[in-house]
Every structure is written in C-alpha cells, then in structure tokens.
A and B are shown apart, each in its own frame.
Chain A
C-alpha cells in the first residue's frame, strides 16, 4: 500500500489570484512566482489534511482528464518542486494549520510556469 502524502501551504508565502493567474511571493528572498494551472490546484487544495492522491483524483483528474497513476506521479514531482521553493510543505502525516497565516484569496486558476522575480531594489 502506497504511503499517503499530505501538502500544506507554507506560512511564509503570500498568495493572490490576479485575473487568471495565481501569484505567490516568498517572504524569504522576496521572490515572486506565477503558478501554472496544476500548481494552482495543488496550492488551493493544500490544506494539510487531504491526502495528495485524493486531491489528484478529485481536482486534477477531473480537470485535465488524465489517468490517476500518471497524474499522481506528476503531482508528487510538482509538490516536491514547490516545496523546494518554500511554497508548499510536504509530510507523510497530516500537517496542522499554523496559528496565523498570510494567505489570501483563492479562486479559479490557469496559466504558465513558475517565474521568480525579485522585489528588492
């Protein structure tokens, strides 16, 4: 039996849906990212309590009409990538919600590639 994976939004990240794109900004390094549609779904569903396979089954497979096994492999890889950038937290156990969070609005999703940019001047 496969091990369950849980994902949660990093409390160090601020996020906002602007138009059709999800922008997220890391407090560390002032780096700005634009999430692609799949990453946006993961971000929106990353409540720390829902296993990744359920997110894939209910949110990604229905959206993109892809096989669950393939979608789960891709989602795991993407979640790890997002975790490397400090956007998501990953655990094999449910992740408790932080006391205070800086997240903001979430709605529909769309569009391309993670794209870091610096806010520093």
Chain B
C-alpha cells in the first residue's frame, strides 16, 4: 500500500505563559521556527508531542485570502465549544478535551490573538485576568501600571531603573493564588505580549503589591483612589473578549475581588526617571 497515503510530519512548540502551557502543532517548519523565535523565553524546554500542556492547538496554514481581513473579533460559546474569529483567523477550542484548531496564514499576529483570548478564558475561570498595563518587579514585589493607549505604559517601562525586572510593557498577566498560609493573593507574571517597546517581558513572577492607574501631569505624585473608581478603571482596562454571560460575570467578580485586596493608586508622572523613586 506504499504511496496511497502520505503522513505529514508535524512539529510542536509549547508556549507557557503565567504557568499555563499551550502546545501549538504545525506541519510547517518555517512557521514553527517563527513561533520559537517569537515566544523565546516562554517556550518550555519540553518539546514535541510528549510535552505536557493544558491546551493543544493544531494550526492549519492557509493563504492570506480571508473575505474581510479587517473584520472585528468575535468570541462566542456554542454547543460546548469556543469559536474565535477575526478577519485574519478562525479558531475553535473545546474546553472539555482542551483541544482546538486555528486556521490562519503564516503570520505571528493571528496566533498571538488566539493565545491572548485563550488565556483570558482560562483566567476568568480562575479569578485572574489580562490587563492593559505595564508591569515590573522591584524588591521582590510586582507593580502594575494600567492605562489606555497613550497613558504612559511604554514610557514608564522605558524609564524603569536597572534593578527593576520588566514583566511587560503592554499586557499584564494576573493570577489569583490560593495559599493555605496566606489565603488568597495575586501574582503577576511576565508575558511575551509587547507594546511599542517591542521587548518581551521576563518569564518570571512576583506577588502584586499595587496597581497604579497612569496619568501624565506636571509633577510626580501618588493619590488614593476609591475602591469603586478602582473597580471601574480596572474593568475598563481588562482584556475580555467573550460575550458569554457567565464569563462576563467571572471577569466582573475577579475585578471586584482584586480591588478589594490590592492597593490601587493614581500615579501622575512627568516623563523622567524620578517617578520610579515613588515605586517600590
């Protein structure tokens, strides 16, 4: 029967962000190499089909010829599966088997979006979230700097002193940790999701000490924020894609829990390094 079937050799890479490992399988060696380079530092040492991962995606590469490349993102839960779709990709994830598939062209942006969506879905169930914020570790504690585009996430990252470890300049990864000794707390992890700085965060983590809501002004200062304002602003900066009611409620409760436990301040700063004298 030789010649009747051709077995396609598939390669795999396991990308672990925030302690959640996602295996990506592809038959395209160039795409695999691109993933290994793009997520360097977050690719686990274990590779191949035997590497342990929480989620498994098969990537089918297609020519970049979708009907509408600028179509909006939609994430919907139907018949026990998550369906993710944007102008440049279509993906599905079965949360029960933890297997999914992605149909996209050979580019790094589509799979990056699928990874972000997958992590928001995972985190929402576990009391955590992805946040539009820079984050860094200083003196063993993590600090988050949240704000919309232009608020200063890249600037505060660029101004970070040498003793600060940058976790991300764009998308922070926050997990709720249950500890029998300390109860519930929050830990920030490094991410490969970059902003203008185009520099991957360090793949490390630390307990979250504070969230700063960024504002630019004539002086460096820290002001208190009411819990309700903190909750509103945290929700406004959270990445959340699903329109599923249960997931929305989970995200809402995660935000409320976070601001009830973690100090939140408004950080007004001028763009110079002295602002870091107020941090840590």
Contacts and interface: CB of A to CB of B under 8 A. Distances in A.
A20 B252 contact: no
Contact of A18 (B241, B245, B260): B260
B118 to A, nearest CB: 15
B243 interface: yes
Task: Please report whether the interface of chain A is mostly helix, strand, loop or mixed according to DSSP.
Answer: loop
Given A27-B246, A119-B240, A121-B241, A18 B231 contact: yes
Contacts of A19: 226-228
Interface string A15-30: 0101111010111111
A80 B240 CA distance: 30
A102 interface: yes
B51 interface: no
B62 interface: no
B248 A25 contact: yes
A65 B249 CA distance: 35
A79 B102 CA distance: 46
B248 A23 contact: no
Given A18-B231, A19-B226, A30-B240, A119 B248 contact: yes
Contact of A21 (B228, B235, B253, B260): B228
A69 B241 CA distance: 45
B158 interface: no
Contacts, number: 72
Interface in B226-247: 226-228, 230-232, 235-236, 238-241, 243-246
B259 interface: yes
B256 interface: yes
B232 A25 contact: no
Q: What are the 7 closest A-B residue pairs judged by CB atoms, nearest first?
A: A27-B245, A19-B227, A21-B228, A14-B249, A18-B228, A16-B256, A25-B252
Given A14-B253, A21-B226, A32-B252, 12 more contacts: A18-B230, A18-B260, A20-B228, A25-B248, A25-B249, A26-B248, A34-B228, A34-B232, A117-B232, A117-B235, A119-B238, A120-B240
Interface of A: 12, 14, 16, 18-21, 23, 25-30, 32, 34, 102, 104, 111, 117, 119-121
Interface of B: 132, 226-228, 230-232, 235-236, 238-241, 243-246, 248-249, 251-253, 256, 259-260
